[in-house]
Amino acid sequence: MHDILISLAKAAILVALGQPENFDLEGALQKYPQLKEDGAAFVTLNKRSNDQLRGCIGSLQAHRPLYKDIIANAQAAALHDPRFQPLTPDEFKDVKVEVSILSEPKPLPYTDIEDLKKKIVPGRDGVVLRYDGYQATYLPQVWEDLPDFENFFGTLCMKAGLSADCLRRHPDIEIYHVSKYEEE
């Protein structure tokens, strides 16, 4: 399954870039019928040369067949991540593709920040933060770069367009887990 998910994401990006690709979608769907089931995926692009983020777009909720979600999010990560210029065919050669398949986010009730600290599992939990119409998420792999609870949530609050101390306002928190597939 690993190779199929990465190959599908890469082929989708090549199509969006107007480059030739030879991915056999029909064959993949026959061999892996679970790709036709509704699923939620994030596609992350990192530069091989320095492992810097180059694009990341995804779905928190399963709302279309998984293969279509991967195709759409791979193309969006390459061309429509508002933090970056659209990827060029030359840059694509220096990009490593990662596909994360998400479990359904579940609300995490908590009484205060200390209680949240006890309930969150760094490295395992992906987090969705919602407050007053604002929202942001971090995949579980973000804990690798931001292992400190305060830093993780401070930057997640800011990503949502809120102040770094937004946990004091008791935002809604949901957690999810991922199956991560990374290009070698």
Exposed / middle / buried, residue 12 (Cβ in 10 Å: 0-12, 13-18, 19+): buried
Does one domain contain both 125 and 113? yes
Nearest alpha carbon to residue 4 among 71, 64, 50, 91: 71
Q: What is the pLDDT of residues 126-178, one digit of tens each?
A: 999 999 999 999 999 999 999 999 999 999 999 999 999 999 999 999 999 99
Angle at 147 between CA 137 and CA 156, to 5 degrees: 25
Does one domain contain both 52 and 10? yes
Domain that holds residue 151: 106-177
Count CB-CB contacts under 10 A for residue 143: 20
Nearest alpha carbon to residue 136 among 98, 20, 78, 146: 146
Q: What is the pLDDT of residues 83-125, one digit of tens each?
A: 999 999 999 999 999 999 999 999 999 999 999 999 999 999 9
Does one domain contain both 91 and 159? no
pTM of the model as a whole: 0.92
Does one domain contain both 77 and 123? no
Q: What does residue 132 show for φ and ψ, rounded to 5 degrees?
A: 55, 45
Residue 89 belongs to domain with CATH number: 3.30.700.20
Does one domain contain both 53 and 117? no
Does one domain contain both 117 and 98? no
Contact (Cβ atoms closer than 8 angstroms) between residue 58 and residue 42: yes
d(CA 27, CA 25): 5
Does one domain contain both 90 and 15? yes
Would residue 184 count as lying in a domain? no
Contact (Cβ atoms closer than 8 angstroms) between residue 100 and residue 176: no
Q: What is the pLDDT of residues 3-15, one digit of tens each?
A: 999 999 999 999 9
Does one domain contain both 26 and 84? yes
Alpha-carbon separation of residue 113 from 44, 153, 162, 182 (angstroms):
29, 10, 16, 33
